[in-house]
Structure 1
Amino acid sequence: MGCRPMFLLDAGEAKELIPLKILFIVHNYCYSLVAYLPIFFEESNFTKSEIGILLAIPCICTIIGPPMWGAIADALHRHKQVHVFCHITSALFIFAIQFVNSFPLMCVTVFAAYCQMVPTLALLDLAAMKLTGRHGGDFGKQRVYGAFGYGVGGYISGMMASAVGIKWCFTMMLGVSCISLALLVLYIPAGYGDDNDQPPQKGLLRSSVKHIMRRPDVLVLFVVAL
């Protein structure tokens, strides 16, 4: 059996999923910069306690951001449009971090950046599940490409930070995010969050909450996560 160079791009799946794989690579490459934000905060002369607060903000955003934007996307039935909006605003907020000097304003900027960034990951996963189901692909393979992009992006960001300074990484991130935006707009179809083949299930959230409240082990796990 001969070697197929295209296997690196399609992983043996439908060619319609190649743009999705590339989007996972570029998207995760783009946001690998956030791993080096503690270095930037230290270079900006923030105290250790202030850096600790800044690093705790993303945890709060992880709880707030995805449910909020997910509910908005579900209500409007505009998942792709919400995805594009969150992608653009998160890239701009992260790029703006380098220009912030005061601690209170930095907290606001980091909060806004992560509240917009974290939902893009969830919405990308939603698009991947819908498209892989449509074209007979595996969701896990798409995530593998994302992990590859994050690893390569983290390595290059680290090299740039040590060679020319971490501020240049913000410019690189903004440029790569434009590529990710182009892939999202051009190759990801709209309406990937709509389940037209399934009737709306009223009261599903309420019944789910009641079921969870009757599970002490799940409640303890939720409290620990918070």
Structure 2
Amino acid sequence: MRPARAFYFLYYASLAALMPYLAIYFASRGLSGLEIGMLTSILPLVTMLGAPFWTEIADATGRHRTVLVSVIAVVLAAAFGLSLATHIVPLALLTALLAFHLAPAMPLLDHAVLEALGDRTHAYGRQRVWGAIGWAVAAPAAGWVTSTYGLPWAFYLFLAIMPWVAVVAMRVPFAASVGRRRIGGGLSLVLRDSRWIPFLLTGFAGGLGLAVVSYFLPLHLRDLGASYTLIGVAMAIPAISEIPFMVLGGLLLASVGSRRMLIVAVAMMALRLLLSGVITEPVPLALVQVLHGPSFGVLWIAGVAYARELAPQGSRAVAQGLFLAVTGGLGGFAGSLLGGVTYDALGGAGTFLVAAAFTALAAVLLAAWRPVPPVVAPDTADVPIG
């Protein structure tokens, strides 16, 4: 599993170098809060399309590694172009290209890891924790570099790390394909199970909250007078807070259960957003991001395990893609758009408070929801074509 751990580490290190500074980069191009919200909303919106699209192709053809390496190559090209763009139209097009090909990377790797673990899915967090470590190491370093040498270095760092992700991807072991099938068949099989409805609504709420924090916390900290170095530290704290929950994820799943973990995670996200809205000093605001671990960290551990549990054999990569599509895609899009609209009108504090109210309501509704037991249907996903 060393290639998978290396992939997690390098992939999240590359994201830590660039993603926290995208909104600030767009602002440096003279864009308004609404325009920044529109651009940042492209990332999750296109993720919603790209994750299930590419994972469905990978499952249907059995060429998971080929798909993974190919999309990373396009990501590099898109990021290079984005670093040179200055106007909103090319910025939007290149952001969409980046997001569409970045989207399947994590679902494909998570699928490979879960298949390799077999019945030991409780050990997933011990692999995924290397992503948190990669982010925790890279985020403060990227903050210092961008503070010292300027915002373009966020792109330079990303472009320096991501090629190594492609190299490691070539060594990630993928399980042998169980047989080809028509493209689109796996997604339809997954969605027959009614338990996906409350599950995906939980992911949507968590993704909305995470998007508001991820895209607008750096702007809010900047407005409060924080340096890029402090912003980098603030972006590292969430990754550090994930580590114990990733390591102990298996124990939490066994003792609490995935459904309860998902509801608690959304409630903790609401608390994180509430505190982010009422705290007005940069350092305490950065420190409260430690709640990322019991919020989104727990949501991801439980969500990945639950998606695999619900997925039919032969459609497990697309199940991971669907979870990401709704959590990081649809939820992220809603959070980005909400943040863009409210940031201009209410400022950073108001933005976080509005998002806190929504996620708190979602947690209450999801706790009261009792999903209908699924109707078992014949599994035709793995019937070979021709």
> In structure 2, which of residues 112, 118, 122 is the aligned counterpart of residue 133 of structure 1?
118
**Does residue 21 in structure 1 map to residue 5 in structure 2?**
yes
> In structure 1, which of residues 191, 195, 209 is the aligned counterpart of residue 191 of structure 2?
209
Report the CA distance between 1:62 and its aligned residue. 2.4
> In structure 2, which of residues 59, 62, 72 is the aligned counterpart of residue 77 of structure 1?
62
Please tell me the residue identity of whatever aligns with 2:79.
I
Superimposed CA distance per residue, residues 147-187 of structure 1 (whole angstroms, 9 cap, x where no aligned partner): 110122222111111110121221221111122221122x2
Q: Which residue of 1 aligns with 2:27?
A: 42
CA distance in 2: counterparts of 1:126 and 1:211, whole angstroms: 19
Q: Which residue of 1 aligns with 2:154?
A: 169
Q: Aligned with 2:2: secondary structure? A: helix
Q: Aligned with 1:46: secondary structure? A: coil
Instruction: Check the 8 A contact 1:21/1:142 in 2, yes or no.
Output: yes
Where does structure 1 lack aligned partners over 5 or more consecutive residues?
1-16
Instruction: Check the 8 A contact 1:126/1:193 in 2, yes or no.
Output: no
Q: Aligned with 1:138: secondary structure? A: helix
Report the CA distance between 1:205 and its aligned residue. 4.7
Report the CA distance between 1:40 and its aligned residue. 0.7
Please tell me the residue identity of whatever aligns with 1:138.
A
CA RMSD between the two structures: 3.2
Q: Which residue of 2 aligns with 1:155?
A: 140
Q: Which residue of 2 aligns with 1:118?
A: 103
- Which has the bigger relative contact order, CA under 8 A and spacing at least 6? 1
Q: Which residue of 2 aligns with 1:9?
A: none
**Alpha-carbon spacing, 1:71–1:100, altered in 2? closer, same or farther (3 Å):** same
Please tell me the residue identity of whatever aligns with 2:129.
V
CA distance in 1: counterparts of 2:88 and 2:116, whole angstroms: 42
CA distance in 2: counterparts of 1:188 and 1:154, whole angstroms: 25
Task: State the identity as a percent.
Answer: 25
Report the CA distance between 1:95 and its aligned residue. 2.5
CA distance in 1: counterparts of 2:92 and 2:30, whole angstroms: 15
Instruction: Check the 8 A contact 1:26/1:176 in 2, yes or no.
Output: yes
TM-score, structure 1 normalization: 0.78
Please tell me the residue identity of whatever aligns with 1:73.
A
**Does residue 183 in structure 1 map to residue 168 in structure 2?**
yes
Instruction: Check the 8 A contact 2:58/2:64 in 1, yes or no.
Output: yes
**Does residue 65 in structure 1 map to residue 50 in structure 2?**
yes
Report the CA distance between 1:75 and its aligned residue. 2.3
Instruction: Check the 8 A contact 1:84/1:184 in 2, yes or no.
Output: yes
Report the CA distance between 1:221 and its aligned residue. 6.1
Q: Aligned with 2:70: secondary structure? A: helix
Q: How many residues align?
A: 205
**Alpha-carbon spacing, 1:23–1:53, altered in 2? closer, same or farther (3 Å):** same
Instruction: Check the 8 A contact 2:62/2:180 in 1, yes or no.
Output: no
CA distance in 2: counterparts of 1:219 and 1:30, whole angstroms: 27
Instruction: Check the 8 A contact 1:24/1:143 in 2, yes or no.
Output: yes
Instruction: Check the 8 A contact 1:19/1:183 in 2, yes or no.
Output: yes
